[in-house]
Amino acid sequence: MNLIVTCARHLESETEDELRGFLEEFGDSDPKVIITSMSGILTADTKLDPVKVVGKIKEMLLDEPWSVRYCLRIIPLQKIVETKIEEIQKVVEELSDRISKDEKYRISIEKRNSDLSSQEIIKKIASKIENQVSLEFPDKVVLIEILGNKTGISILKKSDILSTEKTKRSISE
């Protein structure tokens, strides 16, 4: 899994078709798209770079806002680990070189089907990153996406995460 896609409840199969169509159009002839047991959540595994996929879908959205109908948020993941604080901390430490010395960061955690403490995760991760924290205007986001026993981790610019609704709104302003 290297993409998490959210959609409106009960529109998972339409979202799956839409996402599969995008990935095939971009050059992945056999993407694995899975409708999870969590309402409104799909995961995808593509051989394409997930950050570039999000960028291409954002371009499509800006050109033709009606071309993206079902995908609400598309989140690229760089690493997947078992949902254990030690595992998450280890991977964030490995990826932390993606935050250059002068960049500020924030940690964002989204938990689904998990009772791990967000505060505990943040404390463990923050102790390993020396950069300055900025909750309002971070250069990078350390993204922790917990889906039950699997956790996706990415260190991204805010613009690497696609919210179709926010993007569509920005077009109309």
pLDDT digit string, tens, across residues 53-82: 999 999 999 999 999 999 999 999 999 999
Instruction: Kindly list the domain boundaries of the chain, sorted by start residue.
Output: 3-77+161-172, 79-156
pLDDT at 173 over 80: no
Say which CATH topology domain 79-156 has.
VC0802-like (3.30.2130)
CATH 1.10.155 fits 3-77+161-172, yes or no: no
User: For position 29, what pLDDT does the model report?
Assistant: 95
pLDDT cut 90: percent of the chain above it:
96
User: For position 171, what pLDDT does the model report?
Assistant: 85
User: For position 170, what pLDDT does the model report?
Assistant: 87
DSSP string, 79-141: EEEES-HHHHHHHHHHHGGGS-TT--EEEEEEEES----HHHHHHHHHTT--SPB-SSS-SEE
Q: Answer left, alpha or beta for residue 10, where phi above 0 means left and psi between -120 and 50 means alpha.
A: left
